[in-house]
Amino acid sequence: MGTATRILQFALLAVGVSATLKSECNSLAASGRRSRLSDLLNPRPPSQYKTFCGPTPPELDTWHSERPCDDGLLFVAPGERIGGAADHQANVEGPAIFRTNGDLVWTQSGWGQTRDLKVQTAGNRSYMTFWHDENSRHDGGGSFVVLDQTYEMVRELRPIGDISSRPVELKLTDDGTAIMVMHSVTQIHTPFGGLQSGWIDDAIIQEVDLMSNELISEWRASDHFDATVSQAGIQNRGGTPETAFDFFHATGIDLDHNGNYVISSRNMCNAAALRRSDGKVLWVLGGSLNSFEDGSAGQATAMIASQGVQWHGDSTLLLLDGGHVAKVEGRPGRRSNARMIHLDTTTNTAAVVRIYSTPVAVASSRSQGSLQRLPSGHVFVGWGERDPSAAAYTEYSAQGETLCAARFPGAPSRVSARFRMTPRPPRVGGRVVSKYAWTGTPAAPPVVVVRPQESALYVSWNGDTQTTTWLLRSNNTERRDGSLGARRVVERTGFETRIPIPRDVGEVIEVIGVDDRGVVLVRSALIWSEGASGTWSTQQQRVQDLAVKDEGGGGVSPPLPPLPSWWKQSVLLGEHGRLVLPGLGLSVAVFVWRRWIGRRRWRMLRKGRSRDHQREMAPKGEKSVA
């Protein structure tokens, strides 16, 4: 009976383990911090990860040529949702990193809506930067965030002055400054669109000191470009702040070889160089203000919607033409393409070096594309918002050959979503995919979940890019010498790895992450187990009595404080570190139920004995009426 009871109690405890993780996920969802990355990119059933309380990340439909693509990781900024439930803001995903095979590397919800996710260098160090905004109206309140390689925030940059802004881009410089590009609704008192004065959505550049966030300079498009030469149709806009005329619409910024700004404009259909010291316009490529002679039959200057810009060397401009602007009058649009253009600012001539065309499967980009020239010389293009269901990118060789392409599968139809019990998400605007080399070593510890019913544990380290092998160590139950030795060596498999637990595992488990050179990167906290494979130790030892030594000569692992015999930790949920209260509660319930059954049987037995006694005491010839 005792053995059966113990088995029953452990089964309930195992149920409690699962309930605890589920409860924590529900708690995160209730607090608005649950990650729903796949709801955005590829709606699917809830995550099957044991160590991650988010949905399963999206799969990639990929194509690769025989030639290898550039090494790097994919950075995905989900951007904003358009439409959908009014309370969708609480469930907006955070930025995310993926391997090119679709494996999740890192994600962190709770940032609200994020944009402009990229890797930048400053002071010979790499940083991840992005804009986050928890205000769904996009009327201010957000900031640019700078994270180091441990995913800790080291800077938070906000627009200077009374500016309710919409972000465009953040660029860190080698001069210790940060350049912020944003939009802000502004009233101007010059005629445009039949109005003597009105409201515009102005483009603003602010350069600030990276350490102090003090303003160094500010540039406004309205001071240098006339709203009347905008290529966008005004369509009765500009009369109120709510109908402000988006005459410029900046889409990207870079620095040329002289340190001057190079900015791209969607609604001016151009790119322009601005003197950094005073903001004077030095030259304009494309649009009605074009200052270059086109040496490529119109291909160098004919831009429908400039979506991004990069400067390389002393004369090369890389532009992304979105090919679609609904507001531009008299322009039917075309398929997106990226162009490498050679500029001669002495003779004012421009010539196309190479055109990187949109894949057939990708429609014209409305907005939010990304453009990069990778260290290998390859060109990486994220095609931005095209249709509401997918995001895609293409990587080209320096000669323009398509090397690899991918897209996240689109949202299911309403019918399939209904049968799968997965709600159709609102349309997404501005999903941006980019590619960078990145080394992540998280400050947070690995998350380890022990599953006794599977005789296994699961481990993940959110954001880690270096671990190739997980090592399970434990004290051996047969030796009983207390030393921790290697029990399992398992190759890392994606975001989360399953490690079988040996039958002779002891009371203490430790998981160690190792890189491809055999260097120890991280150790989990010590985890107490009562033999997850079914061999349960009843002998109690104080943790201080365990000589927890590293047999590989790596030092001594810190001991845990002594635990009571009835309070063994069967699961470690990372930074949340919750004990298995539901399982213990069920165990107590079983104990109370057994006591109640025992008391009931004892009372029934007593009652039966009382009846027998009455029969014995009754006079002969009389019947007992008891």
606-623 pLDDT tens trace:
676 666 655 655 555 444
Q: What's the one-letter identity of residue 229?
A: V
For the record, the structure tokens of 597 come out as 């059954």
Domain positions in the chain are 442-579
Strand partners, 323: 365
| pLDDT above 80 (res 349) | yes
Query: Worst-scoring range by mean pLDDT, 208-222, 471-485, 494-508, 577-591?
Result: 577-591
Q: Where are the beta strands (DSSP E) in 275-348?
A: 281-285, 293-294, 306-312, 316-321, 337-344
Find the mean pLDDT for residues 383-404.
76
Give φ, ψ of 129 to 5 degrees. -125, 150
270-313 pLDDT tens trace:
999 999 999 999 999 999 999 999 999 999 998 866 778 999 99
101-144 pLDDT tens trace:
888 899 887 787 888 999 999 988 999 999 998 665 445 568 99
Find the mean pLDDT for residues 362-366.
51
HEC string for 136-192: CCCCCCCEEEEECCCCCEEEEECCCCCCCEEEEEEEECCCCEEEEEEEEEEEECCCE
Instruction: With cut-offs at 50, 70 and 90, classify the pLDDT of residue 59.
Output: low
Instruction: With cut-offs at 50, 70 and 90, classify the pLDDT of residue 162.
Output: confident
pLDDT at 80: 55
Instruction: With cut-offs at 50, 70 and 90, classify the pLDDT of residue 331.
Output: low
Q: 20-24, 90-94, 377-381 — which one is most confidently predicted on average?
A: 377-381
Asked if residues 268 and 223 have their Cβ atoms less than 8 Å apart, the reply is no
pLDDT at 447: 93
Residue for token pair 């483009």: 203
Q: Report d(CA 130, CA 40) in Å as an integer.
A: 18
Instruction: With cut-offs at 50, 70 and 90, classify the pLDDT of residue 35.
Output: very low
Query: Which architecture, in CATH terms, is 442-579?
Result: Sandwich (2.60)
| pLDDT above 60 (res 391) | no
Residue for token pair 């086109």: 294
Find the mean pLDDT for residues 568-574.
34
pLDDT at 583: 62
512-569 pLDDT tens trace:
999 999 999 999 988 876 544 443 222 333 333 333 333 333 333 333 233 233 323 3
User: pTM value?
Assistant: 0.75
pLDDT at 530: 55
Q: Report d(CA 541, CA 477) in Å as an integer.
A: 12
